[in-house]
Structure 1
Amino acid sequence: MSQHEREADWSGLLSDIDAQIPPAEGVPEARSNEKSDLLTFLGSAYMLKVLHEFVLDPGPWRFNELRERLDVPPTTLTNRLKELTDAGLVVRESYDEIPPRVEYTATEKLLDFRPVFGCLGIWVEKHGWEEVRSEAPEES
């Protein structure tokens, strides 16, 4: 499937979701392309895993603590932390020490993802992930 076809699928999915969920009072409706961009951002390798760890424990975290805890390849973790920092979801604090020390802490913006993970947890409790995985057709 091409990038254009994937984006069209996301756009159609978002339209279906929008039709089913009424907007929350006082919350502006996000534009479709913003939602698509967010889903692309969240779909990066290990992104949800890293976000979830910060939601569970906002930090501060050192790089090696996160790497060991999450079992994420170092280059991938570096990229995800940079993206999260650039997006204002994580603050990177560098200390002028020898050896150098860098810590990462979740921002309030990232912590606002808590309800998203709560909803995912409710969904898993209701449907069970192993059940869903066993029903999915195998990719060829």
Structure 2
Amino acid sequence: MSESCVPTGVALKDTGFGYTLSLIGGKYKMIIMYWLAEHKVLRHNELRRSIGTISFKSLSVMLKELEADGLILRKEFPQVPPRVEYSLTERGLSLLPLLNMMCEWGEKNGLPALETVPR
């Protein structure tokens, strides 16, 4: 880590690194952002099916948090039955390079690469 990212004596939560983690940390937030980046717009049940292992309630909570943090947009259509669509905001899109870097790191350092690391 560079010294400016997490200065000595400063609580992690009070740094840019800590702030970023507070927005995308957790089991599903980055996965939700990944699927929204792939599909541009998804409805609640489409997201749930894409993720596969998330409960209805957990997805609802994660979506509300991401919306409150300004990372996703919730668009409600006044019709019967009600329809709600989710997409990334400009702020959410600005995190995609970070997610892409994580993907690249995983591809370079995934399981096969770990077998060659000296112990």
Fold similarity call, TM over 0.5: yes
- Name the residue aligned to 2:26: 44
Q: Is the 8 A contact 1:91 1:105 kept in 2?
A: yes
Name the aligned partner's letter for residue 51 of structure 2: L
Q: What is the DSSP-based 3-state SS (H/G/I as helix, E as strand, rest coil) of the residue aligned with 2:15?
A: helix
Report the alpha carbon displacement of residue 106 of structure 1 after superposing the two structures with TM.
1.0
TM-score by length of 1: 0.66
Q: Is the 8 A contact 2:67 2:74 kept in 1?
A: yes
Q: What is the DSSP-based 3-state SS (H/G/I as helix, E as strand, rest coil) of the residue aligned with 2:3?
A: helix
Percent identity reads 28
Name the aligned partner's letter for residue 2 of structure 2: D
Instruction: Tell me how far apart the structure 2 counterparts of residues 129 and 32 of structure 1 sit (CA, whole Å).
Output: 33
Q: Which runs of 5+ in 1 are unaligned?
A: 1-16, 22-30, 136-140
Provide the aligned length of Structure 1 versus Structure 2. 108
- Name the residue aligned to 1:79: 61
Task: From 68, 75, 80, give the equivalent of 1:93.
Answer: 75
Q: What is the DSSP-based 3-state SS (H/G/I as helix, E as strand, rest coil) of the residue aligned with 1:102?
A: strand
- Name the residue aligned to 2:43: 62
Greater helix content: 1
- Name the residue aligned to 1:27: none
Instruction: Tell me how far apart the structure 2 counterparts of residues 18 and 43 of structure 1 sit (CA, whole Å).
Output: 20
- Name the residue aligned to 1:125: 107
Q: Is the 8 A contact 2:66 2:72 kept in 1?
A: yes
Q: Is the 8 A contact 1:94 1:102 kept in 2?
A: yes
CA RMSD in angstroms comes to: 2.5
Q: Is the 8 A contact 1:45 1:76 kept in 2?
A: no
Q: Which runs of 5+ in 2 are unaligned?
A: 6-12
Instruction: Tell me how far apart the structure 2 counterparts of residues 104 and 123 of structure 1 sit (CA, whole Å).
Output: 28
TM-score by length of 2: 0.76
Q: What is the DSSP-based 3-state SS (H/G/I as helix, E as strand, rest coil) of the residue aligned with 1:18?
A: coil
Instruction: Tell me how far apart the structure 2 counterparts of residues 96 and 130 of structure 1 sit (CA, whole Å).
Output: 50
